[in-house]
Amino acid sequence: EVQLVESGGGLVQPGGSLRLSCAASGFTFSNYWMTWVRPAPGKGLEWVANIKQDGSEKYYVDSAKGRFTISRDNAKNLLYLQMNSLRAEDTAVYYCARIAFRDRYFDYWGQGTLVTVSS
């Protein structure tokens, strides 16, 4: 059974940093692109970042560029999102998701971890 379990969320002050983790199991993690998604007020869900199977390609939504870094450890089946210079508008539940093999929709999602940016 495919499972994705996020952790690392919490309360952080504006300008602070946080690292989210996503533990994957039930599939060959190194075969899949992975992604982070969050809700965005008035916009539904917002894709945040993607990473290729071997980590050689990474893409970010404009609001995350220069502040967030997506990475992975295929030996440990872990996906990460390092978030720096956090802003109030980054407050959200962050979901990790698997991108379907040889396709591009998101076929499995974790339950999410809440990030709150507030002083």
Partner 1 sequence: EIVMTQSPATLSVSPGERATLSCRASQSVSSSLAWYQQKPGQAPRLLIYRASTRATGIPARFSGSGSGTEFTLTISSLQSEDFAVYYCQQYINWPPAFTFGPGTKVDIK
- The residues binding partner 1 (CB under 8 A) are 35, 37, 42-47, 50, 57, 59-61, 95, 97, 100, 103-112
CB of 104 to partner 1, least distance (A): 4
Nearer to partner 1, 80 or 94 (CB): 94
CB of 82 to partner 1, least distance (A): 19
Nearer to partner 1, 16 or 55 (CB): 55
Nearer to partner 1, 29 or 106 (CB): 106
Nearer to partner 1, 75 or 104 (CB): 104
- What gap in Å lies between CA 75 and CA 107, rounded to an integer? 22
Residue 24's CB: how many other CB atoms inside 10 A? Answer: 24
CB of 77 to partner 1, least distance (A): 18
**In angstroms, what CA-CA distances link 100 with 31, 85, 96?**
10, 31, 13
What are the residues whose beta carbons fall under 8 Å from the beta carbon of 69, sequence distance 6 or more?
58, 80, 81, 82, 84
Residue 96's CB: how many other CB atoms inside 10 A? Answer: 29
CB of 59 to partner 1, least distance (A): 4
